[in-house]
Amino acid sequence: MPAQASAPSQAPSTASPEAQETGAAPAGENQVDVGAEKTGAPASPHQKSWLVRHFSLLLRRDRQAQKAGQLFSGLLALNVVFLGGAFICSMIFNNVAITLGDVWILLAALKVLSLLWLLYYAACTTRHPHAVLYHDPHAGPIWVRGSLVLFGSCTICLNIFRVGYDVSHIHCKSQLELIFPVIEMIFIGVQTWVLWKHCKDCVQVQTNFTRCGLMLTLATDLLLWVLDVTNDSMHHKIKAELNALMENFSGNDTNTCLCLNATVCEVFQKGYLMLYPFSTEYYLICCAVLFVMWKNVGRRLAPHPGAHHGTPPFHLHGVIFGPLLGLMALVAGVCVFVLFQIQASGPAIARQYFTLYYAFYIVVLPTMSLACLAGTVIHGLEERELDTLKNPTRSLDVVLLMGAALGQMGIAYFSIVAIVATHPHELLNRLILAYSLLLILQHIVQNLFIIEGLHRRPLWESAPEALAEKREAEPPRRDSLLELGQDLRRASLAYIYSYSHLNWKRRALKEISLFLILCNITLWMMPAFGIHPEFENGLEKDFYGYRTWFTIVNFGLPLGVFYRMHSVGGLVELYLEA
C-alpha cells in the first residue's frame, strides 16, 4: 500500500516539457488523469474531487476561448488583406476606376486605426495590473530589433525624400499628397518604438482586443508591403521627368510636370531609389514580429530546465579558417560592388561588369553550398539531443527561412526560363544561367543546415540537465549546506573543464558558421544597397515586359535580402550553441 500511495504523488514530476509551457499546475494534474486512463491505473480520490473536475473544466474553457480569439482576429486580418488586395489589384488593372489616391486613402485609414491601437497598447494595456507576467526569451532577439530600427529609420528617410520630391513639384500637384507620407512617418516611428519595447510580451489581459489590434497592424504592414512591391508609379514619374528634360534640351516642349530645381530633385530621386528596398524589408520584419506577439498573447510560461542558463558570449574560440575565408569573400564582394556601382552611375553599364558581378557569385555560391553540406553531415554525427519543446519563435524562424528563400529562387526560375527560351549560348546568359542554378542549390542546402542546427539542444542546456538527472538518480542525502556548496563547485569545475576545449566537430561547426555569416552579410549588402543587375541586364525585362518583371523583382529581391539577414541571425545562434 505505501508503494501504491507514493506512485501518484510522483506522477506530476514526469510531465513532459511541453506541458510545462502552460505554466499552470492543474494542467499537469489533467495530464495525469489522461495517463491514468490510458494505463488503466486507479486515480486518487483527490483527482476525482469536484474541485479538480471544475478547475479542469475552466482550463478547457480557457483554451477554447483562446482558440476562438485567435480565429476571430485571424479572420479580421484576412478580410482586411482581401479588401486592400482588391483595391491594389483594381488600381493595377483598372487605373481609371480605382486610382493610387484611393489606395492611399484606404491605407491611411488603416494606419490611423493601427496607430491608435499601438498607443493604447503601450499606454493602457501593458500598464494594467498583472498584464505582462511572462516574457518570451526567444522572441525579439537583438538582431531583429536592430533591423527594425535600421530599416525603420531608412523608411522614414525614404518618406522624407518623397515629401521633398512632392514639395519640389507642388506647383503642379495636389497638396493633399503631402499628408500620406507624413502619416506613414508617424506610424513607422510609433510602431518601431512599440515593437522594440514590447516584442517579448505575453499579455494576459484584454487578450481578444490585443489579438485583434495585432492582426490589424499586421494586415496594414502586409498591404503596405504589397503596395511597395507592385507600385512602380514613382519610378515611372522619375523616368518620365528625365525623358521630358531631354526633350526640353532638344527644343521640344512637353506637358510633363518638371521640378523647379533640377539639382535638388536629383538628390531626392537618387535617395528615393536607393532607400526603396529598405521599405519592403521593414514591413516584412514588422509582420514577423507582430505574428510572434500574436502567438504569445495569453501564453503562460513556466521555468523549465536550462531556462536560466544565459546565452554564452560571442568568442572566436581559436577558429581561424572560417573568418579568414569569410573576410576574403567580404572584401572581394565590396570591390565588385563598388566597381559595379561606379559603372551604374553612368548612362549605361558595360557587359564586362555584368560578367564580373555574376562570376563573383558563381565562385562564392558553390563554396557556401559545400560548407552547408559539411555542416549538415557534422550535425548528423553529433550526440546532442533534439529540442522538442514548444517554441513559437523557432517555428516562425523555420517558416520565414523557407518562405523568404522563395523570393530569390522564384527570380532564378524566371531567369532560367527566359534564358533557355531566348539566347542560351551567349557568355553572359550562360553566366546568369549558372548563377540561377547555383543560387537555388545554395538556398536549399543552407536551409537544411540552419534548420537542423536550430532543433539541436544547446550544450549549456544539455550538460547541466545531465548532471541534474544524475543527482536525481542518486539516493537523497542529508548533507550540510557547506557540503552541498562544495558538490556544486566540483560539478561546475567539471563542466567547465569538459566543455572549455573544443572537439573537432564543435570547431568545424564554428568555422562553417562564421564563414557563412560573413558570406551572407556580403550577399545581403550587394542587393540591399546597390543597383540590381536582375533588372538592369535587360534580358528578363525584354522577355516578360517592364511591368511584369518589375513586380517579380520587387517581390523577390526584398524576400532575398530578408532571407540573408534572417540567415545571419540563425547562423549566429548556431555558432553560439556549437
- Per DSSP, the residues of 442-510 read HHHHHHHHHHHHHTBPPHHHHHHHHHHHHHHHSPP----HHHHHHHHHHHHHHHHHHHSS--HHHHHHH
- Residue 15: the pLDDT is 40
* Predicted pLDDT at 83: 93
- Please tell me the distance from the alpha carbon of residue 128 to that of residue 316, in angstroms, as a whole number: 44
Helical segments of 345-458, H only: 351-381, 392-421, 427-454
Q: How many CB atoms lie within 10 A of CB 338?
A: 11
Pairing type for strands 132-135 and 201-203 reads antiparallel
Q: How far apart are the first and last CA of the chain?
A: 49
> Which one-letter DSSP state was computed for residue 319?
-
Q: What is the pLDDT of residue 50?
A: 62
Entry field: residues in the chain: 578
Q: What is the pLDDT of residue 215?
A: 93
Per-residue confidence in pLDDT tens, the chain, 578 aa? 444 444 444 433 434 443 444 444 444 434 434 444 444 444 444 445 666 666 566 667 767 777 887 888 889 999 999 999 999 888 877 767 788 888 889 999 999 999 999 999 988 888 888 888 878 877 777 778 888 998 899 899 989 988 888 787 776 777 777 888 899 999 999 999 999 988 888 888 888 888 999 999 999 999 998 888 777 555 555 555 555 555 554 555 555 566 767 777 777 877 787 787 788 888 988 998 899 888 888 877 765 444 444 455 555 556 678 788 889 989 998 888 888 877 766 666 777 878 888 889 999 999 999 999 988 888 777 666 666 566 666 777 788 888 888 888 999 999 899 888 887 778 888 888 899 999 999 999 999 988 887 766 655 444 444 444 444 444 444 445 555 555 555 555 544 444 444 576 777 888 888 899 999 988 888 887 766 777 777 778 888 887 788 778 877 887 888 888 888 888 887 877 76
| CA–CA distance, 71 with 212 (Å, rounded to integer) | 10
Spatial CA neighbour of 330 closest among 525, 569, 518: 518
Integer Cα distance of 429 and 426 in angstroms: 5
Q: How far, in Å, CA of 195 to CA of 139, rounded?
A: 11
Query: At 536, is the secondary structure helix, strand, or coil?
Result: helix
Cell of 333: 564582394
Name every residue whose Cβ is closer than 8 Å to that of residue 8 and which is 6 or more positions away in sequence.
32, 43, 44, 47
Q: What is the pLDDT of residue 195?
A: 93
pLDDT at residue 487, as a whole number: 58
- Would you state the cell numbers that stand for residue 465, as one nine-digit string? 540537465
* Torsion 36-40-45-48 (CA) sign: positive
In terms of Cα–Cα distance, which of 270, 293, 345 is closest to 118? 293
| Closest by Cα among 294, 356, 265 to 69 | 294
Q: Which helix (H) or strand (E) holds 132?
A: strand 132-135
CA distance 36 to 15: 13
Instruction: Please report how many Cα atoms fall inside a 13 Å half-sphere around the Cα of residue 364, on the Cβ side.
Output: 28
Q: How far apart are CA 375 and CA 93, in angstroms?
A: 48
* Structure confidence at residue 571 (pLDDT): 85
Cα(209)–Cα(212) distance, integer angstroms = 5
Residue 88 to residue 91: CA distance in whole angstroms:
5
Single pTM value for the model:
0.70
Using the structure block, give the residue that is written with the C-alpha cell 564580373.
356
The SS3 call for residue 203 is strand
Grid cell, residue 164, equals 521633398
pLDDT value at residue 11: 39
Distance, C-alpha 80 to centroid of its chain: 22
Contact 357, 547 (CB under 8 A): no
Confidence at residue 241, expressed as pLDDT on a 0 to 100 scale = 56
How large is the C-alpha radius of gyration of the chain?
28
Q: What pLDDT is recorded for position 4?
A: 44
pLDDT of 238? 58
